[in-house]
Amino acid sequence: MPKVRFLPAEEEVEVEPGKILLDAALDNNIKIDHNCGGNCACATCHVIIESGYETLNEMSEDEADMLDEAENVAETSRLACQCKVTADLVVRIPAKPAGLDDTV
């Protein structure tokens, strides 16, 4: 089974192949904001894939449009609600910009 290591928490979890990254995090009590409920309608679940980016499913146009709204986007940024885990990953959950509400 693929393993996903979440940074900065340094937590590693095993994930069923094909599972959505956001669900894998939430199932293991790893907090990733997801204001739209994982429907690719916001950018709050923005993560940076530090290792294994090439193993992820292709980014859709909708996801690319939503990432335009995210803060501190990197070349390997993705929305956790759109990534299917098929191999080992290292995922950084970026710090939220100051002043944002903690509600999910």
Residue type for position 64: A
CATH number reported for the structural domain that contains residue 27 in this entry: 3.10.20.30
Question: How distant, in Å, are the alpha carbons of 59, 64, 79, 89 from that of 52?
Answer: 14, 19, 15, 5
Q: Answer yes or no: is 103 within a domain.
A: no
* CA gap 85, 73 in Å, rounded: 20
Q: Answer yes or no: is 22 within a domain.
A: yes
Q: Answer yes or no: is 74 within a domain.
A: yes
Q: pLDDT tens digits, residue range 20-68? A: 999 999 999 999 999 999 999 999 999 999 999 999 999 999 999 999 9
Q: Is 99 or 37 the better-scoring residue by pLDDT? A: 37
* CA gap 101, 98 in Å, rounded: 9
Percentage of the chain exceeding pLDDT 90: 88
Across the chain, mean pLDDT equals 93
Q: Answer yes or no: is 57 within a domain.
A: yes
Residue with tokens 């980016």: 53
Domain of residue 26, residue span: 3-92
List CB contacts of 5: < 8 A, sequence separation 6 or more.
11, 12, 89, 90, 91
As for how many domains the chain has, the answer is 1
Q: Answer yes or no: is 101 within a domain.
A: no
- Within 1-104, residue ranges assigned H as helices are 21-27, 61-67
